[in-house]
């Protein structure tokens, strides 16, 4: 069962055109309060969690096969106007586009493999080690984000922005917090010049860390070969 959740403070009306255009035959839910990010410790979109028939997490939150192939163009894209970016796309070379597609396909293969065979589930200890870090600062950040979004959506932008800024200060690793806040401040802010500059400033750090699955290089992952059933 695929459950696709829109982390979108704009709610159903922002998510609707995308969901309708996808003709999705799976369950599409709308999460205006970012409750899934809050509950599961997510820091970016997309992220995915594999949950088995008993309701147990068998692969903690990870990037579902997206690659950083276009990210290295972020600095050049940041220099362009929004108009120019529209016409130039993400400046991807054919090789970068192929690597991006290969990552998504490799992840899909692993996912199908899991559905049919149970492979790629992590043993309980390995799954626990792969859980996201949860600090008091992150807990505080989630509370500020919740209040900030609520205030923004109730016409109290200036007060809301104070809380959103504090949420980012306490949890700087969360791209979701920063990008949703930027989008609330200005439509398009989530993917605008400031975002691209921040992405370029990551340097060698990944934006989409590779999942520990076959096809994703040296990070082979800690799989449970017997699937523990």
Partner 1 sequence: MTATVLTQEGEFTVDATDGLLLTPAELQRVTGWSLKPEGLCRDEVCVPMPEALHAGRVDVAAFWQRLGNPVLADDSRTTWVLGAGAQARREALDSLQAPEFELPDLDGRPHRLSDLRGKKVFLATWASW
Residue selected from 74, 77, 106, 151 as contacting partner 1 according to rule CB under 8 A: 151
* C-alpha to C-alpha distance for 163 and 185, rounded to whole angstroms: 13
Structure tokens at 45: 């979109």
Residue selected from 93, 117, 135, 219 as contacting partner 1 according to rule CB under 8 A: 135
Asked whether position 12 contacts partner 1 by CB under 8 A, the answer is: yes
Give the residue with the Cβ less far from partner 1, 51 or 93: 51
Q: Name the one range near partner 1 by CB under 8 A: 80-88, 92-100, 145-153, 213-221.
A: 145-153
With CA atoms as reference, report the closest residue to 31 among 59, 60, 4, 64. 4
Asked whether position 124 contacts partner 1 by CB under 8 A, the answer is: yes
Residue selected from 131, 169, 172, 201 as contacting partner 1 according to rule CB under 8 A: 131
* C-alpha to C-alpha distance for 26 and 46, rounded to whole angstroms: 16
Asked whether position 25 contacts partner 1 by CB under 8 A, the answer is: no
Looking at residues 71 to 100 of the shown chain, list those that interact with partner 1 (rule: CB under 8 A): none
First to last CA, the chain: 20
Residue selected from 90, 113, 119, 150 as contacting partner 1 according to rule CB under 8 A: 150
Which residue carries 């149970």 as its tokens? Answer: 118
Asked whether position 143 contacts partner 1 by CB under 8 A, the answer is: yes
Asked whether position 200 contacts partner 1 by CB under 8 A, the answer is: no
- Sign of the CA dihedral with 107 first, then 112, 117, and 123 last: positive
Counting residues that bind partner 1 (by CB under 8 A) gives 78
Which residue carries 């979109």 as its tokens? Answer: 45
Asked whether position 156 contacts partner 1 by CB under 8 A, the answer is: yes
Give the residue with the Cβ less far from partner 1, 25 or 95: 25
Residue selected from 100, 180, 213, 216 as contacting partner 1 according to rule CB under 8 A: 180
DSSP 189: G
With CA atoms as reference, report the closest residue to 114 among 41, 179, 45, 57. 57
Give the residue with the Cβ less far from partner 1, 35 or 76: 35
Asked whether position 222 contacts partner 1 by CB under 8 A, the answer is: no
Asked whether position 214 contacts partner 1 by CB under 8 A, the answer is: no
Burial letters 156-193, b for 16+ CB under 10 A, else e: eeeebbebbebbbebbeebbbbbbbbbbbeeeebbebb
């Amino acid at each position: 069962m695929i459950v696709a959740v829109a982390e979108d403070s704009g709610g159903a009306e922002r998510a609707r055109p995308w969901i309708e255009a996808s003709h999705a035959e799976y369950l599409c839910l709308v999460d205006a309060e970012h409750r899934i990010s809050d509950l599961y410790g997510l820091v970016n979109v997309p992220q995915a969690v594999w949950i088995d028939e008993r309701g147990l997490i068998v692969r903690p939150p990870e990037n579902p096969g997206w690659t950083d192939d276009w990210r290295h163009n972020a600095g050049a894209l940041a220099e362009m106007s929004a108009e120019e970016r529209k016409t130039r796309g993400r400046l991807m070379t054919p090789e970068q586009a192929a690597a991006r597609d290969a990552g998504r396909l490799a992840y899909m293969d692993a996912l199908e493999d899991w559905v049919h065979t149970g492979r790629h589930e992590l043993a309980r200890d390995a799954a626990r080690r792969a859980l996201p870090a949860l600090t008091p600062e992150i807990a505080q950040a989630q509370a500020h984000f919740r209040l900030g979004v609520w205030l923004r959506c109730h016409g109290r932008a200036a007060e809301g922005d104070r809380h959103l800024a504090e949420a980012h200060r306490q949890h700087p690793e969360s791209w979701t917090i920063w990008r949703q806040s930027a989008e609330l401040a200005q439509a398009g802010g989530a993917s605008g010049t400031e975002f691209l500059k921040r992405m370029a400033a990551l340097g060698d750090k990944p934006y989409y860390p590779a999942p520990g699955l076959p096809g994703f290089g040296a990070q082979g992952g800690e799989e449970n070969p017997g699937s523990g059933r």
